[in-house]
Structure 1
């Protein structure tokens, strides 16, 4: 690029000043600031042919920092810690010490193992806290219910049966009363429901449904003790064949299968349960769709008599 005489004279003046500053041992940055330059290309042109004075020539700049950085790295310090102590950047530290092995630091596998253990310890504590919180909610809700009246037993029992019991189908009408469940609480509710409905305990018979690989005798003893029934009321257990390809989780000492309860002469009982269940569903509608209606115990007794079910005398004591 051609220059005017004035530009040539100015360039020559800058070159002489740059050479003089170089001879004084100034750095490139200092020369650039002294001359008010903004371009590295211009600085390179000005310094062509110049060399650093012997006092400025060293095998490597910052030898002391370099050596100290390697010492700190050997002690296990991180790039950040070394940079903060020596006042240099992490990139400079990386260039100086990246060939050194990591010392005093965890391997990736060890760090991962410790992290997994820490997470497990956290959830071991957190799980107990959450379990206690949930149990507190359940206990408070159960306390709100309290002891049920006979009318409430009829409603709860009928709805429970309509969910879990045997029901007629449009293509099959047998009017059987069969209830089967594995929850001892629901079994006791159904027995109490039968008591309130006026069905004597001698009209019930029981059968355990359980996998053949389980302890059948222990399961039968459990259900016999729970129901308080006569052993003659228990029929032979129904065993489900064990499939070795199936991974079952309902195993162990607390696995007792399901208990099936059947009612003898069930026609009238089934129709009453059906009516109570339908009535409960109708009664659950908002008042705007039909209002609410209370049912007294005499009404229940009259309905029972209409179906020729004897409920005279005292019903059997409920199983607690």
Structure 2
């Protein structure tokens, strides 16, 4: 030890004797961040910002600031159009993620609000659903048939549950797919057959929609299965009842509407 070699037993005297002397290299312990520090300083000298260095090296901005505080600040340069576009895109993507998270939270809360669907509620929902989306007879074309066409599997599920509630036998239901000819027709047929629990061979003949190149269609991805048509055979009486139920709902709604004072 140094004390033994100098024959000094007092630490205060030893400290005064060694004052100003640099410690030998062998006493210095290697620091795991030395390489990061040097690399951060190099990048800073090249004009990189703290944010860019942080992304590149994965260390904290406070450490980068400490390591490079004696270095000159890089000149502020004008962003290129590509850089500005990339920054704007990242900001917009972050905003979209927040919107989607909020959308999912709101939908989850609303879903939990439907704790139980009574027969009466399903009955009224089904009447409104059919009158909005189902085929209707016209004064100029009297056609009292129950036909429901939709691309939303959920709508098909609710419609079939409603028919079950009304006591319509499953044997009276016939199904057919309507899909664009440019789509995966076989895949669409199998999708809808699986959804309603029948063999694909039991589907009626598929209606192919002509593809128009000039139409800017958005429903061309892998999740596109066209529409399913549900026909209720011998449905004239049911159609008349649906029409009556609907006008009954309309009448009740009108009676609830506050009348404007004259």
What's the TM-score, normalizing by structure 1?
Answer: 0.54
| Residue among 192, 201, 208 paired with 2:170 | 201
For residues 118-146 of structure 1, give each alpha carbon's deviation from its aligned partner in whole angstroms, at most 9, with x where no partner exists: 11111111111111111211221121122
The 8 Å contact of residues 204 and 233 in structure 1, kept in 2 or not, is answered as no
Indicate yes or no: 2:157 matched with 1:157: no
1:285 Cα offset (Å): 3.9
Matches of 1:233 and 1:270, distance apart in 2: 24
Residue 233 of structure 2: aligned partner: 264
CA RMSD of aligned residues (A): 2.2
The 8 Å contact of residues 190 and 200 in structure 2, kept in 1 or not, is answered as no
Equivalent residues in 2 for 1:107-186 (5 A)? 107=78, 110-186=79-155
Count of residue pairs brought into register by the alignment:
187
Question: For 1:208, what is the secondary structure of its paired residue?
Answer: strand
1:105 Cα offset (Å): 5.2
For residues 284-307 of structure 1, give each alpha carbon's deviation from its aligned partner in whole angstroms, at most 9, with x where no partner exists: 3454779xxxxxxxxxxxxxxxxx
Residue 160 of structure 2: aligned partner: 191
Matches of 1:149 and 1:233, distance apart in 2: 32
Structure 1: gaps of 5 or more residues: 1-75, 77-102, 291-320
Q: Which moved more, 1:229-238 or 1:126-135?
A: 229-238
The 8 Å contact of residues 175 and 228 in structure 2, kept in 1 or not, is answered as yes
1:231 Cα offset (Å): 4.1
1:208 Cα offset (Å): 0.4
Indicate yes or no: 2:70 matched with 1:106: no
Equivalent residues in 2 for 1:34-45 (5 A)? none
The structure-2 alpha-carbon separation of the partners of 1:245 and 1:134, relative to structure 1 and needing over 3 Å to count, comes to same
1:230 Cα offset (Å): 4.6
For residues 136-183 of structure 1, give each alpha carbon's deviation from its aligned partner in whole angstroms, at most 9, with x where no partner exists: 112211211223111111111110110111001111111011100000
Matches of 1:267 and 1:288, distance apart in 2: 32
1:278 Cα offset (Å): 1.9
What's the TM-score, normalizing by structure 2?
Answer: 0.66
Matches of 2:209 and 2:155, distance apart in 1: 22
Matches of 1:289 and 1:245, distance apart in 2: 48
For residues 160-213 of structure 1, give each alpha carbon's deviation from its aligned partner in whole angstroms, at most 9, with x where no partner exists: 110111001111111011100000000101101110111111101011000111
Q: Which moved more, 1:135-144 or 1:219-228?
A: 135-144
Matches of 1:258 and 1:164, distance apart in 2: 12
For residues 203-240 of structure 1, give each alpha carbon's deviation from its aligned partner in whole angstroms, at most 9, with x where no partner exists: 01011000111111111111111111354541011001
Query: For the pair shown, which has the larger CA radius of gyration, 1 or 2?
Result: 1
Question: For 1:284, what is the secondary structure of its paired residue?
Answer: helix
